[in-house]
Each structure stands twice: as C-alpha cells, then as structure tokens.
Amino acid sequence: MLFGWFYYDWTILIVLPAMLFAFLAQIKVKSTFDKYSRETTHTGMTAAEAARKMLDRNGLYDVEISQVPGSLSDHYDPRNRTLYLSQSVFASRSTAAIGVACHEAGHALQHAQGYAPLKARMSIIPICNIGSYAAFPLFFIGLLFAGNFGYIFMVAGIACFSLATLFQLITLPVEFNASRRAMEGMQDCGLLYDDELNSARKVLSAAAMTYVAALATSLLSLLRLIVIANNRRN
C-alpha cells in the first residue's frame, strides 16, 4: 500500500521531509523531557508552585492553576485565565516540569500584557478552525469534477488550508516568546539554579522544535495541494 501511494501520487514526496522532521522532533521532546524529569531541583518546589510564584511576581494573582489529565497536555486558556498543568507536570519537582509550567505562565504574561502575536492568534482561531475543517472536503470535491468547476473547489480548499498554515506561522513567535519569558522568570524568581536553568532551556528548546516542524509540515502540505491543483488544471 505504501508503494501505491508513491506510485499513484508522487506529490507525497513533497511533505515527507517535514513528516520525518516532525517525527524526530516528537521523539526529541519526549526523550528530553523524560531525561530532565529525573532531575530534581535544589529548591524542592513543585512545578505548580513555581508557576504560581512567577505569576504572582508579575501581579497575576487572579490567574488560576489547575491540574488536567494526561502527559504534556499543559496549556493556558485565556478565556477563563487558567493555567492547566498535566499530571506529569503539576506536582513534579523536576527541572523539566518547572520549565514547562513556567512556559505556560509565560503565555499568561503575554495575555495580560496584550502581546500582539497572541492577540492575533486568538482573533483568527474561529476562522482557522472553520478553514481546517473545510479544506480537505472542498479540495476532494474539486478532484471529483473536471474543468474549471473542479478547479474552483480545489482553490477554495487551498485557501481554507492556508488559514491553518497562517495559524501555525503566528504560533511560532508566540511559543518562542513564552519560552523566553519562562527563562527570564525562572531566573528572576530564583526558581532554578544556573545548571538547572540550562536543563530547563534544553526542554523548552526541544519543545520549540515541534512548533517549527508543525509549520514546516503545514507549508509543504499547502505546496502539495497547489501542485496537485495545477497538475489537474493542466
């Protein structure tokens, strides 16, 4: 079956490098997190306590911290101003967990300070969700019809998919900035010693590569759709 994909649709080769990059990035972030999850901090505070200290240091006393199921399901929800930490992070006293928790606290700081890329990402989420759901149905409908009628549907699908790519593009500076804020916060609040900061930086750097990989995958997937549409039109 894999051979069939290559034989009948050579355009899959366009996205293969990004797919491999994304796969390796996921392995890297998991192995890095697992490695530094075994490194207990000298302060002995939990990740939730570290995030709370960082938030309070910046006057965000009203931002709540809650635990959610799963591993690395951590996120900040600007709608209810709540920082959600996963089970593998919330009560952990490791450098990896504190790095992740402070990264999410960095998003809370972005929200409170009106960080422009975060505001832009929040504003386009509804239309990007619609676009991501509609992209492939529209594109495949276009594949079913010949001529300009089918091509119009394919272009519509490409336009919708480009919204998802735009979301990935805007996400990149948001995530990198949150990690920078996390590193500054951990240092300013005395949450980690210098050697521990280096460990946390490695975890955040590995996580950042997953967002780079997601953008690369989205861009090359968009290019693939454009190539298919142009081939069909010609």
- From the list 49, 104, 175, 196, the catalytic residue is 104
The per-residue pLDDT of the chain, averaged, comes to 92
User: Quick one: average pLDDT of 45-59?
Assistant: 96
Angstrom CA distances, 169 to 51, 76, 110, 119, 135, stand at 27, 19, 17, 14, 17
- 184 as an active site residue: the answer is no
Predicted local confidence at residue 72, as pLDDT: 84
Predicted local confidence at residue 50, as pLDDT: 97
Q: What is the pairing mode between strands 64-68 and 82-86?
A: parallel
DSSP states along 84-113: EEEHHHHT--BHHHHHHHHHHHHHHHHHHT
The strand pairing partners of 176, in sequence order, are none
Please report, rounded to a whole number, the percentage of residues in the chain having pLDDT higher than 70. Answer: 96
User: Quick one: average pLDDT of 118-128?
Assistant: 94
pLDDT in tens, 138-191: 999 998 887 888 899 999 999 999 999 999 999 999 999 999 999 999 999 999
Predicted local confidence at residue 11, as pLDDT: 85
The strand pairing partners of 85, in sequence order, are 67
Nearest alpha-carbon partner for 61 in 97, 108, 5, 26: 108
Predicted local confidence at residue 225, as pLDDT: 94
Predicted local confidence at residue 2, as pLDDT: 38
Q: What is the DSSP letter of 192?
A: S
